[in-house]
């Protein structure tokens, strides 16, 4: 069974930093691109970032470019999101999601999410 487990969320002050992790199991981690999607409280879904299986290709939403950095460690079956210069508008549940197939990067499945709250 494919499992994705996020961790690292919490309360942080504006301007602060946080590092999210996502541990994958039950699939060939180094064969799939991985993704981060967030959801602000009571709002819809917002794609944040995607990273290819080898880390060669990385993409970001304009709203996070220059502040959030995605990375992965295939040896550890893990995905990361380094979050710097955090703002109140970054408050959200952050989900990691596996790409459905190597050449079809639909988001399936998703982890349970980790809540990041940016507040003084």
Partner 1 sequence: EIVLTQSPATLSLSPGERATLSCRASQSVRSYLAWYQQKPGQAPRLLIYDAFNRATGIPARFSGSGSGTDFTLTISSLEPEDFAFYYCQQRSNWPRTFGQGTKLEIK
Closest distance between partner 1 and the C-beta of residue 44, in Å?
5
- Ramachandran area for residue 55 (φ above 0: left; ψ -120 to 50: alpha; else beta): left
Contact, 97 vs 79, CB < 8 A?
A: no
Choose between 13 and 65: whose C-beta lies nearer to partner 1: 65
Residue 6 tokens, joined:
């996020």
Choose between 7 and 112: whose C-beta lies nearer to partner 1: 112
Choose between 73 and 108: whose C-beta lies nearer to partner 1: 108
Alpha carbons 40 and 44: distance in angstroms, whole number: 7
Closest distance between partner 1 and the C-beta of residue 5, in Å?
11
Choose between 46 and 91: whose C-beta lies nearer to partner 1: 46
- Residue (of 55, 89, 97, 93) closest to 72 by Cα position: 55
Binding residues vs partner 1 (CB under 8 A): 35, 37, 44-47, 50, 59-62, 95, 100, 104-113
The pairing of beta strand 114-118 with beta strand 10-12: parallel
Closest distance between partner 1 and the C-beta of residue 112, in Å?
6
Beta bridge partners of 45: 39
Closest distance between partner 1 and the C-beta of residue 11, in Å?
20
């Amino acid at each position: 069974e494919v499992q994705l487990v996020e961790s690292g969320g919490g309360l942080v002050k504006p301007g602060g930093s946080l590092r999210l992790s996502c541990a994958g199991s039950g699939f060939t981690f180094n064969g799939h691109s991985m993704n981060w999607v967030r959801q602000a409280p009571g709002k819809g879904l917002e794609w944040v970032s995607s990273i290819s299986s080898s880390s060669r290709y990385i993409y970001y939403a304009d709203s996070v470019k220059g502040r959030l950095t995605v990375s992965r460690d295939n040896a550890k079956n893990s995905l990361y999101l380094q979050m710097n210069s955090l703002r109140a508008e970054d408050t959200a549940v952050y989900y990691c999601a596996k790409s459905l197939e190597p050449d079809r990067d639909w988001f399936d499945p998703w982890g349970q999410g980790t809540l990041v709250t940016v507040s003084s």
